[in-house]
Chain A
Amino acid sequence: MLEYAKSNRREVIAAAVLIVLLATYLGTHPRGASTYVMTIWANQCLILGLAACAQFFAVVVRGIDLSVGAVMALTNTIASYLLDGSAGGIALGMIAVVGAGALCGLLNGAIIVFGRIQPIVVTLATASIFVGLALLLRPTPGGAVNYDLADAMTLDVLGIPTALIITAVVVFAFWLPFRRTGLGLGLYALGSSEQAAFQSGIDTRLVRLAAFTLAGIFAGLAGLFYSFVTTTGDAGIGPGFTLNSIAAVVLGGVLLRGGVGSLVGALAGAFILKTIASLMFFSGIPSLAQPLFEGLILAGAIAIGGADVLRARNKLEVFK
Chain B
Amino acid sequence: MSPEPLLRIRDLRIEFADDDGWQRVVDGAHLDVRPGGARALVGESGSGKTVTALAVMGLLPRRHSRIPTGRIELAGQNLLDLTERQLRPIRGTELAMIFQEPMTSLNPAYTVGEQIAETVRVHTGASRKDAWRRAVEVLGEVGIPAAARRAAEYPHTFSGGMRQRVMIAMAISCRPKLLIADEPTTALDVTVQAAILALLRELQETTSMAVLLVTHDLGVVADFCDDVTVMYAGQPVEEADTVELFASPRHPYTSGLLRAMPQSAHPGLDLSSIPGVVPRADRMPPGCRFHPRCSHAQEGLCDIVEPDLLPLDGTRASRCLRIQRGELDELSRIVDDRVVAARADLDRRSS
Q: Do A and B come from one complex?
A: no
Residues of B participating in the A interface, judged by any CB pair closer than 8 Å: none
Interface residues of A (CB under 8 A from B): none
